[in-house]
Structure 1
């Protein structure tokens, strides 16, 4: 069945939704924060911060925020691309009509137990963000029907949510029914009480099944050591794993307060080894230089990775010699933690320009640089 709506019908549907989500806030004198965005033709393309309000405090009593049900009128907004809602209790089956929806944000929906199966129709939905308490204790099963999900962000505020997430996250991601294994690019789990063993499983089990997963953000969790993560790494990273960013900020392992003095060199070597193994890993999060675990050798390795160290890897077919001037020019313009001549010298020394070449096919035959965890001076690379 094809739905045909006019801008007038969309305006009416938006008015119905606004009247439901903000009725309690208005009655208590709290001005609604929600707003609508339209395209040049007057079509509603975004509904933002529906139901957002703060609790009302009278003396010692705090009036709780009431939760609301999204009305079926949401299905009339078929040009909708962005939907951000607060304190919502349920979504109707008509949500499946929003085939243009790209971004969905659920904030503090502590009474929302599941998502309607009709969300499987949202083939354009790429960005899902869940923030705060939620009754969806098994997060991935509620989202597994999404076929093209690229970015999944989850930040929990409730202890039970964190426990359920940590206990089930890996198994849920590996479930054969998950439809977004070939599309997920960013996994962001903040404040989920993840341990180093959980992250080790993400590296060893999840990454091989998610070939486009290039950015893993796990800030403010409970990772105290990188040793289990290093032990879970294969000696040679498969070419299907293309990790580019790993955010560990806010985890105990990066703070001297939580890391024993004797363990600091071990964690420094672990972090360097991790960056060396994943040759495309170029970012460890803003502020990483302030951690004692991050050494100058690690920062240099990040620069080498960004400069193109992966091009020297045995994991991939070497590129023709004729391409190397472009690679070297790009590396020379790069602004990293160290002067660019470190990266250029490394590529010249180990690349096909001055390294061993197969004259038959004019391709690089050099092996990737390997690190054994020992410190190396910058001018030796």
Structure 2
């Protein structure tokens, strides 16, 4: 047999094999429509701890994995300047206490008592002088002098009372002001101790002793000790179909081959303009044996499920609404639910029809 004849025969055989088209018949089965989402596992109420003041870390009082209560100290910053300021405020508050200035008030009270005594004496002398003048005894000048003395002593008495009241107000004001300054200073001094905002678990300590920190830099990551949630990212094209209460099927890289269930409980309304996605939060329905913050996950949010649906593989669909039958007729169909592999056919063909796979 000549070589060129063998080559021609092989080409004919290959052409006839390649000409065979794959074919299927529609299948009646359940179909589920879902939305893909990727995300991470987070501790419920997970948050980053920020200091309220700048300083150098003097002491770290917790380690990763510690369970702490609200208000428990996590770190201490160097606060020598704050300590001296607080001590200075305490000295000022002690100096300005009303009880520490009792001698000044006592002295002002004694001035009032002396002025009252002189006023009463001058009042008696004035009455006596008036009685004498009524009997034509004494002179007009003496009477006027007694009246003047009484007015002066009355004025001095009233002035002494005013000075006493003013002194008491000043002392009370100074005492309250210095006490308030002490409270402010103590509060500022307390800012140098970083405390837990909630009951929870320390998942990460981000700084080391001796490092300089500021209010713009997180120093730790904390969250609930035993409860975890899913923080999922959903594309803007799919978000309108996602609602609270929908079932979530997910898998974790830490548990390959296993599928866990969750439930959507919150759809955040603001879109991330950089990623063009929305954040959806879900809780676990079936929980893995062990979870840690920031584990990655891939999930499908179940939009709806239909039983006994007529389905075909998605690759058998032409231009979103046509199929190719065995007779190579192009038939229009109406589609329903769709997942990543198959599509529901609502109208146009039956399960007895034979469909050809379109050439791509």
TM-score, with length taken from structure 2: 0.17
Say which structure, 1 or 2, has more relative contact order (CA 8 Å, 6+ apart). Answer: 2
TM-score, with length taken from structure 1: 0.16
